[in-house]
Amino acid sequence: MKTYSFLLFSILIILSCGNPAAPKEVAVSKKERVILKKEKPLSKKEKVAKVAVGNTIPDGTILNIDSVAIPINQFKGKLLVIDYWATWCSPCLKETPIFKDFAKKYKDHPIHFITISMDEPFSYWKKYIQKNNWQGQHFWLGTNESNPLSFFTLAEIDFEGKQSIILGLPQYIFISAVGEILSHSETRPSAPDFEETLLGYLE
């Protein structure tokens, strides 16, 4: 009887001491089995959707002429109008002077007019800006596809009956004071509806 009681008592002690440790051992083993997966890159279609009208402008930075990274959110509080361009883009070079004229015309209004260059490398763009004595707020992005601000340069076109997404310049983007994407199109400053759109967002 004593032997039976002793065995029963021993079993109870083993069980009571063993149970609390079990969950810990299971937890550790699960942790060891966790595999960190890299975030899947967005498709071009997903990138276009991310900067669709009505969305909030994604976080991202651009470089000024002194190579200082400027967060796009720095321009919140005023209407933001962006000119995406490149020196190799003939229509861009034709339209950018008109864009800069708008910046001068509306300098006393609550608007930021900025240009963002897709040129490579940075030094080439900087030299171009300095040589041509560009005044105003000019920034560089380059061809960094991982920067979400580059998504605005993607354009959907119909090619032989199929929808394709390509790099399209120039692009003119209107962003509200609170960061909402208002317009994303190829409407150019030389077109009458460009200023009409601008005035409409100021009202």
Least confident of 46-60, 79-93, 178-192: 178-192
Distance CA 81, CA 88 (A): 21
What is the structure's pLDDT at 37? 53
pTM: 0.79
Distance CA 153, CA 185 (A): 10
Nearest alpha carbon to residue 142 among 160, 167, 162: 167
Superfamily of domain 44-202: Glutaredoxin (3.40.30.10)
- pLDDT, tens digit (0-9, with 9 covering 90-100), for 97-122: 999 999 999 999 999 999 999 999 99
Which range has highest mean pLDDT (31-35, 44-48, 155-159)? 44-48
